[in-house]
């Protein structure tokens, strides 16, 4: 295909895309690990995910919840009248949903008072579910805990000031403070509550079974706690991370380019730490006991202006870039054409 130089610039289009961490654009589910727990309706679109001990939850764009997997304790039996949900979390054998009005609904196994939601609990903005305990982050930055407290994991320590995020492991809890520091409490048999000295500039936290994971502002990851399967050893060179998830004994990291890195326990043939080949355009991740989940979004590229110049037989294209953003170059044969042909994707 040969184009006149004067029409060349107008015949190219550049489009850019940046991953939405909140996954508000509905995407499809990708699932790897224990296939006995795979979702039975492929193609359904979701905006948020949660993985528990042996069950999974997914939030649909209309504010309803899908649940599947092990259901012996009715943890996958979503209440029939549950609507207006904005977030979901999965404990080992129970489930919680946060509603738009800041209230909490729970279902599943009820021992250890894990479903005994504190009377009057309101203005909740985030939830975390552990082995048999729960945490709720309120709008004012305070944290409320309830459920199993054998190791003190459900009693929020006074040193938790104004929190901005929470996470719960099997028997321990994490809170991210407004100043970028982390507070940990609960069971410490494997060092999972021993926050590394000097840890700062943290932007996200994730509590695994018996280990802890944090994401720093510079896109790097720090881990500590039980390391029997390498879950506490961050892969060398891991960078440009924008989201993390901690499962029972493995971890996931979502990178800025929409790809996923996994490490830790991968045994029993489950493959939860083996990312499917070619997986990309990921917007959200979740890690459970023995499986991993991701939301993959269709690429939505707004058009971006570019300039073109021919020099010494080469076509030079220039446009303002944002580091880490993905750009798709398209071509059409003439200005009258309406169909664009994808040429390649470029990450700045």
Smallest Cα–Cα separation from 260: which of 229, 296, 228? 296
Half-sphere exposure of residue 262: CA atoms within 13 angstroms, side-chain side? 25
pLDDT of residue 35: 72
pLDDT of residue 324: 57
Domains and CATH numbers, the chain: 5-17+301-347 (no CATH), 27-296 (2.130.10.30)
* Residue numbers in the chain where pLDDT is lower than 70: 1-24, 36, 38, 40, 42, 268-269, 299-348
pLDDT of residue 4: 28
What is the separation, in whole angstroms, between the first and last Cα of the chain?
27
Cα–Cα distance for residue pair 152/347, rounded to 1 Å? 46
Q: Decide: helix, strand or coil at residue 252.
A: strand
What one-character DSSP code corresponds to residue 234?
P
C-alpha distances out from residue 218 to 17, 100, 204, 261, 298, Å: 21, 32, 12, 17, 27
Q: Nearest 5°: phi and psi at 178?
A: -60, -25
C-alpha distances out from residue 38 to 91, 270, 294, 323, Å: 18, 12, 12, 36
Full-model pTM: 0.81
pLDDT of residue 148: 98
């Amino acid at each position: 295909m040969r184009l006149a130089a004067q029409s060349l610039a107008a015949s190219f289009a550049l489009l850019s895309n940046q991953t939405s961490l909140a996954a508000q654009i509905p995407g499809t589910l990708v699932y790897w690990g224990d296939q006995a727990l795979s979702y039975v309706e492929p193609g359904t679109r979701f905006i948020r995910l949660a993985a528990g001990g042996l069950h999974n939850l997914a939030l649909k764009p209309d504010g309803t919840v899908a649940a599947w997997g092990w259901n012996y304790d009715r943890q996958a039996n979503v209440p029939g009248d549950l609507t207006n949900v904005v977030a979901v979390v999965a404990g080992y054998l129970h489930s919680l949903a946060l509603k738009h009005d800041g209230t909490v609904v729970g279902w599943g196994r009820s021992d250890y008072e894990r479903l005994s939601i504190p009377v009057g609990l309101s203005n909740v903005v985030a939830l975390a579910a552990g082995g048999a305990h729960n945490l709720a982050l309120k709008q004012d930055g305070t944290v409320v805990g309830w459920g199993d407290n054998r190791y003190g994991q459900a009693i929020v320590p006074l040193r938790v000031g104004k929190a901005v995020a929470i996470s719960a492991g099997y028997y321990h809890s994490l809170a991210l403070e407004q100043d970028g520091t982390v507070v940990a409490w609960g069971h410490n048999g494997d060092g999972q509550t021993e926050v590394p000295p000097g840890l700062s500039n943290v932007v996200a936290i994730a509590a695994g079974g018996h280990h802890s994971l944090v994401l720093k502002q510079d896109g790097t990851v720090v881990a500590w706690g039980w390391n029997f399967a390498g879950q506490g050893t961050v892969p060398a060179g891991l960078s440009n991370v924008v989201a993390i998830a901690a499962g029972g004994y493995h971890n996931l990291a979502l990178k800025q380019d929409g790809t996923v890195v996994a490490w830790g326990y991968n045994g029993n043939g489950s493959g939860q730490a083996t990312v499917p080949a070619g997986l990309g355009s990921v917007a959200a991740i979740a890690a459970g006991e023995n499986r991993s989940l991701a939301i993959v979004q269709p690429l939505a590229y707004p058009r971006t202006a570019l300039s073109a110049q021919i020099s010494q037989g080469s076509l030079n294209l220039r446009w303002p870039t944002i580091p880490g953003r993905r750009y798709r170059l398209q071509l059409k044969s003439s200005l009258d054409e309406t169909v664009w042909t994808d040429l390649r994707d470029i990450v700045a």
